[in-house]
Chains A and B, each alone.
Chain A
């Protein structure tokens, strides 16, 4: 078995009898001890503007000060004996000497529990977002184009939703501005932010999702023939309805390479919507989406 240094001398804890009313621990002293109640009763006391109130009572077997000793966390209550009691005090030195003789795995368990708890507590104050740029793009994609949003108001609302730090949000705003997705008009307290085109921000979020999942993103995988088909589709009447063979015939008449597999691919990309069982019409929104993605490819990829 792996153990620590068993030759280390152990400093024993101190067992003490205290009278009712004795202050076992005061937050003013900042001493870091674990106090174990063996017999009697202790109470955690809080004083607010001179008014004394009992926060909780301790019964035999209870202990306090573990977080204070192991993690240097402040313990803000005073501990008083409410009746004659017997306590065991484990001092920092005593704990240290005991820990040094523990098997390494047990020491690791104590450290791991302690560190996991600390991380959980710290996480309460931090954002959960890992891709903060994507988060900002998602938020901005629902704002209106060409409206001047006061930056301070914008920051307050967005930070309330996401808990992302102000410095990070400002960096991300600049990153989106460099991509020409939004415009920041500097003016001190009157600085404003304007969305150029919400669709571009939505496209950017979708692109980021694909990058994170390490999958190819449809708009950037189109062949030259498919790109030309897309441009052609954007020029025809959105109310035009035809069945699949008629659409294929139309494309072939326009000298495009078009067959059943190409047609199925276009359906999968969402370029057409079914009007009824046999008729299809161009899906204008999807076509605009693909065209915008292709037109602003460098902005989206961030390779300006």
Chain B
């Protein structure tokens, strides 16, 4: 069936139920989508085909189509499709089904890939904003604009990423109206730390030193527990606990594990725990009177190690 459209006339609306394929015979159709209001218009000239998924899967229209000039469109409906396929070998239908399914999979892979690819941009922009301003909150429209400029990531995708990071407890989107919305980081350090960790992995093809082993995490969690329970005062951001406290608490909370110099060594090496005197991996741990550490940094590292294994799963 051939449909003639005058300039400006609509052929279909985005989201409409669809079961026909359009082939532009002459003229020009212009496609727009509410999902990408800032995207350039899509033009469909003679020979263009639109709506394969409507014909094959009755999928709703992805675009609103409007004639930019006098346009002639050939419509193929599902009855025509079925009648044609009936006269053909059955494997032809299987091939069409296969091609459709394969395209859907490719679309889904692209969507996931775009989301993962947009994460470094978001973390970069948010990190530098936190550093530049010292504020923990960035206006959402500004974040949208900067990520769009940097990586061409549309606002809808940025929002999906923010939603995932919010579920991980890294940030919170606050405000009700779009123009007033803002993104608040749960801590000033965790976003830059996550960016740095991903950057290190990507650029060096190895795990960042920020990613700790289970034992390292347990020792640091023990340190945090002691500081909190005994209300150790902070001095210049540093907290100090005795080796005796550390060993005793480790025995309680680390399933009877006995702390040794060997267990502590990686944390000393990474300068996460600073010993009160020269550290020797072969000497007994008791030779060190106490350890001190940057409490906030340890909290951020523990948080980073909590969310890091969940990140990929949360994103896709």
Contacts and interface: CB of A to CB of B under 8 A. Distances in A.
Interface of A: 1-2, 13, 34, 36, 61, 63, 66-67, 70, 88, 90, 98, 102-103, 105-106, 108-110, 112-114, 116-117, 120-121, 123-124, 127-131, 134-135, 137-139, 142, 156-157, 160-163, 205, 208-209
Interface in B79-121: 80-81, 84, 88-89, 91-92, 94-96, 98-100, 102-103, 106-107, 109-110, 113-114, 117, 120-121
Interface of A is mostly: helix
A103 B84 contact: yes
A105 B23 contact: yes
Contacts of A161: 120-121, 124, 150-151
A123 B49 CA distance: 21
B75 to A, nearest CB: 10
Contacts of B146: 138
A130 B150 contact: no
Contacts of A157: 199, 203
B52 interface: yes
Given A98-B88, A163-B117, A117 B152 contact: no
Contact of A117 (B21, B92, B103, B202): B103
A113 B52 contact: yes
B150 A114 contact: no
A265 B102 CA distance: 55
Q: How large is the interface on B (under 10, 10 to 19, 20 to 34, 35 or more residues)?
A: 35 or more
Contacts of B110: 120, 123-124
A67 B56 CA distance: 19
B94 A61 contact: yes
Contact of B52 (A1, A103, A112): A112
Contacts, number: 118
B128 interface: yes
A70 B91 CA distance: 14
Contact of A124 (B55, B80, B88, B109): B109
B152 A128 contact: yes
Given A105-B76, A108-B23, A66 B132 contact: no
A121 B202 CA distance: 22
Contacts of B91: 13, 34, 36, 63, 88, 90
Contacts of A130: 152
Contact of A160 (B55, B99, B113, B199): B199
19 contacts: A1-B80, A102-B88, A105-B49, A105-B76, A109-B21, A109-B55, A109-B56, A113-B99, A116-B106, A117-B99, A117-B106, A120-B109, A121-B109, A124-B109, A142-B132, A157-B203, A160-B203, A161-B120, A209-B149
A36 B199 CA distance: 46
A109 B103 contact: no
